[in-house]
Every structure is written in structure tokens, then in C-alpha cells.
Copies of this chain bind each other. A is one copy, B any other.
Amino acid sequence: MEQAQRIIIVGGVAGGASAAARARRLSESASITVFERGPYVSFANCGLPYHLGGEITERDALLLHTPESLSARFGIEVRVNHEVLAIDRVRKTVRVLDRLSGETGEEAYDALILAPGAAPIRPPLPGLDDARVFTLRNLPDLDRLMAALDPEIRTLSVVGAGFIGLETVEALRQRGLNVHLIERSPQVLAPLDAEMTAPLVATLRAHGVALHLGETLQRIETAGESLQLRLESGASIASDLVVLAIGVRPETALAREAGLELGETGGVWVDEQMRTSDPAIYAVGDVIEVRHVVDGRPVLLPLAGPANHQGRIAADAIFGRASTYRGSQGTAICKVFEQTAASTGLNEKALQAAGIAYRKLYLHAGDHAGYYPGATPVSLKILFATESARLLGAQAVGEKGVDKRIDVLAVALQAGLTVDDLAEMELAYAPPYGSAKDVVNLAGMAAQNLQDGLLQLIGAEEVGQAVAEGAQLIDVREAEEIATGLLPGARNLPLSQLRQLLSLLARDREVIVYCQVGLRGYIAQRFLAQQGYRVRSLNGGYKTWSMWQQSRTFRPG
């Protein structure tokens, strides 16, 4: 392929900056021009909440590059405050507005890369245009919000409990402000299934965040000095300021007006080399629709890692290099005070929607060996294909070691590994770092047992019905462990005495056994099954049941 000589890039943050740098490494002769509508290029989007919260003390730390540094290092021309208004695909030119001078000009390209990103969603509700309603997407947004936080400001409402919403809530609490968190769905952090978010809800409440789950904002009214957020339920929340973190929408206006094809999700359609429906135009980052690697579905997954990777691939394609984008798997992570939550692949809701037959397994185990000090539990949920046992998704929550397990499982998912492979993983073990059988190994082994028919599981959501139909519910934890409570209708027969107390169990009724996290339940289940009982073990034990139970009552109303 012939070398493009004039490359124009629209947008100079993650994907655009990556594309520019890669293009230069591939060609010294190309002219590379980046037009960035905002005043900054290559800033640390993901760092914004942490400067708000004070962890990142220097605002300048968020500026990864300046136009000058990119020019000096790469010979790339970066024009900030320049907005590309239109593309003339026939003449291969763009019309550019200098936002400071107000002048417009025209620039010719051989290859054009669109990396305009996504914009915060601002639903058309009454009152949302008030100057006290903020978003947090870029540095000017952050500057505005921080400038507004004068000492009289005491109470803020954050609307939306996704990654940005949760990070913003934590940042505002760290500044000592009163915070309301309003979320339309009945859970926080939608990429996780509801029960896995129970520890996050608990920590948000423990940190004094006023949670309003399953509540929809209807309008914002001015009430004297403050704002009143009116919810559909009829409730009303008084706030000095509001931060909207409802989500983002791809900035497709430019592409749409140029007649480029959009995907069914509304993102710009691209092929696996990031080429749009016009072969001279590429698109990368939050503006595009990607394929989900698990089910091939088109999705919008605005994530920094994939954006960077896509920028590199677009530059490769321009210079005839064969790299391709394999799709996204949605690996993401969020710090919520002392908790970390992360996930990769599809969750249960998405698998159901996609009609994929799956099984699930919960496991709770220490982030490192229990006999070494400081171990904290990692709660893990894996989802795998019923037939092939291939991993489809994983979610984890805990104080430590969550990122490691999700990264390990993200690679497993990328490689198409099965639960057998999880059982076999040879991970690094010394007491400060893990266990001889890591939680990932244990999950794999338990899933193998499930596949092999050794393990018979019942889900937390099924227990009530089974007991109502006559099942005997047996808590096999030791007596001193059950202070936290038994499941309704359960009786305690500790595993250590089960062999002696077998006569207490009726032989003609199903038995459901559970322990704290599932391991001893499995041992009891194997014992009873071999004694001729119909028996199932509660998936993930009391702990999972308790998380599930909490998730049903997130909404206090």
C-alpha cells in the first residue's frame, strides 16, 4: 500500500494521541496534524476524579503531553481549540474552526482518523441547564466543578452510579461533602450482577453516602440558594450542586453528517482495521461500535485501554500493516473506598439477553494464605458455557487482589480457556501473595466438579422455593460461626459432626447444605450424596446468599 502523506486526526486524547505517535514511528515523511476541540491533548481522563478527591494533588500531573512536547518529540502538529466542523469526502478535506479566533479553514487529508470520543449524556429534563449542574469528562469540566466548590457548598448529588459516578462520589466524600447518589437501576455498577455489588453498597453507606437506587431524576428545580432534585417516586433531594454521570454517548455528529455508516448501537461502524465505510477514514476510541469478543454482539465500550490499542491499529492500517482489532471484552475496574470491584466478559444479565447457555459459580477465598497476616476475602463469580465449559465472564469484589484475579481471568477469556484450565493454572504462590490453591484455581475446580456431576448446586434465589417444597436446609458451619445468622428455615449440623448426626436427616426429602463460602457445603454434599440422599449445595454458601439477600433490598423504599 502507498504511504499516506497527509494524516489528519480529529481528537487528541487516548485513541487520537496513540494513532499520531504510532503513525510517526511508521513514517517520518508523513505530515500528521491533530485537531483537538478542547484546550488540552493527551490528558489523563481517568484521573479526573482523583484530582477532585485530592489524591492527585497537582493538576498538571493530568497533562500527559502538550502540543509543544508532541511537536518536539514526534514532529506532530497539534492544534488545540480547533474543531473539525465537516468532512468533504470527495475532495478529502476537512473544514476546521479555530475556536479562539473564530476563523475557519480547510485542510486536505490522505487519511483521516476520527477520535472525537464521547460526550456525557444530558437527558432533556427540566432544570438540567442550570449552571450548578456539572459533568466530569475533561479538564475544563473538572476546573469548573472545582471552582464551584466554595466553602458554602455542603451537599452534592451525583446522578448515575457507574464508574465515573462512584469515583466522583468517593472524591466528594473525601472532601468532606455530603453526597447523594441517585441511580435509576436498582443497583450500582451495571457491569456487575446485582448481588456482586452488595459490598459496594455496604461501603458506600458506611462512608455516609445517601444512596437512592431505583430512583429516576425527573427535573431539577431552584429552591432559594439550592437545587431540588425531584424524583419520579415523588421524593425530593436538596443539593447545592449536581454532577451528572449518567453515561456517555459517542460523538458521531461529524461522522454522521459526512454520511459514514453508523452501527446499530449508534457508534461509528468500523472494520477490524478501524476503517469506516469510507476507506480513507478511520475511527477509534469511544466514538466507535466494537464487537464484543464473547458473543460477537456490537457494543459501545468506552474504555481507555482499547482506545489506545485501536489508535495504534488505525495507524498500522494506514501504512499497510496487517494488525487487526480482535474486539473488546469489557474488562473494567473501579475503586469504591476500600473496596475494589472489577469484571471482564459478559455478566449474567448479558448472557441471558444473548441467549447463551451458561453456568455460574461463586467462590470466596482470601487474597493470600489465611495464615499470613492481612488476608482479606475476594468474592469471585465466574460464568462459563454449559457445554464447552469455556469462560464467558468473571466478576470480583474485595479489598485486595481483585485486579489480579480479574486480569488473570481476562487473559483466560481472551485465550478461550475452560474451567479445566482455570483449575490447572500455575499462579505465583508465596504466603504474602496468594494460596497454593488460588481462588481462581478453586473456582475452576468447583466448576469442573459441577461439569462432572460431582457438585450439585442450588442458587440463593432458588432456596426459598425448595424449602417451601419440603427440602431440609442444613447449615454445616461450626456452631461458633453461626452468630451471623442462619438462612430462614435452616438448622445447624456442623460438618465435623455430620457423620455422627446423619440419622437426624430424613431420607425421603431433598437436603440443601451450605457453609460460609461453599467448600464445606460441597464436602457435605458429596458425603450425603454417597449416603443416598438427594442433596444440593448452596452456590457460594452463606456469604453469596447474604450478598444476594442484600441486593434485593438495596432500594429501601
- A229-265 toward B: CB 8 Å interface, digit per residue (1/0)? 0000000000000000000000000000000000000
Whether a CB of chain B sits under 8 angstroms from the CB of A484 is no
- Residue A61 lies at the interface, judged by CB distance under 8 Å to chain B: yes
Tallying the copies of this chain within the complex gives 2
The yes or no answer to A106 lying at the interface (CB within 8 A) is no
If A308-B436, A403-B404, A496-B72 touch, does A333 touch B428 (CB 8 Å cutoff)?
A: yes
Chain B contacts of A421 at CB under 8 A?
414-415
Question: Judging by beta carbons under 8 Å apart, are A335 and B72 in contact?
Answer: no
- B430 touching A496, Cβ below 8 Å: no
Given contacts A308-B437, A326-B424, contact A25 B523 (CB under 8 A): yes
Measured in the bound complex, the distance between the Cα atoms of B10 and A283 in whole Å is 63
Return chain B residues, CB-CB under 8 Å to A522. 25
A436 proximity list for chain B (CB < 8 A)? 14, 46, 304-305, 307-308
* Assembled-state Cα–Cα distance A221/B425 (Å): 46
Chain B proximity of A386: nearest CB distance (Å): 20
- The answer for the CA separation of A523 and B24 in the assembled complex, in Å, is 9
Q: Which residue of B lies closest to A429 (CB)?
A: B305
Query: For window 43-91 of chain A, which residues contact chain B by CB distance below 8 Å?
Result: 44, 46-47, 50, 55-57, 61-62, 64, 69, 72-75
Q: Which of A352-368 contact B (CB under 8 A)?
A: none
- Shortest Cβ distance from A415 into B: residue: B415
A490 CB–B CB distance under 8 Å:
no
For residue A477, CB closer than 8 A to chain B, the reply is no
Tell yes or no: A28 within 8 A of B by CB. yes
Report if A465 contacts B (CB, 8 A): no
- B44:A445 contact, CB within 8 angstroms: no
Tell me which residues across on chain B come within 8 A of A163, comparing CB atoms: 430
Q: Which of A335, A432, A441 has the most CB of B within 10 A?
A: A432
Q: Report Cα–Cα, A411/B44, bound state, in Å.
A: 30
In the complex, the answer to whether A523 meets B404 with C-beta atoms within 8 Å is: no
Q: Which residues of B contact A330 (CB under 8 A)?
A: 426
By a CB distance below 8 angstroms, the chain B residues around A373 are 55-57
Is A482 at the interface (CB under 8 A from chain B)? no
Which residues of the other chain, B, contact A371 by a CB distance below 8 angstroms? 44, 47, 56, 61-62, 64
In Å, the complex CA distance between A56 and B14 comes to 45
Distance (whole angstroms) from the CB of A437 to the closest CB of chain B: 6
Contact partner, A426, options B73, B167, B328, Cβ 8 Å: B328
Please give the residue numbers on chain A whose beta carbons come within 8 Å of chain B beta carbons, in ascending order. 14, 21, 24-29, 44, 46-47, 50, 55-57, 61-62, 64, 69, 72-75, 163, 167, 303-309, 312, 321, 323, 326, 328-335, 340, 342, 344, 369, 371-373, 403-404, 406-408, 410-412, 414-417, 421, 423-434, 436-438, 441, 445, 448, 452, 454, 495-497, 499, 520, 522-523, 526-527, 530-531
What would be 5 A-B contacts, judged by CB atoms less than 8 Å apart?
Answer: A73-B523, A312-B445, A333-B429, A407-B407, A411-B417
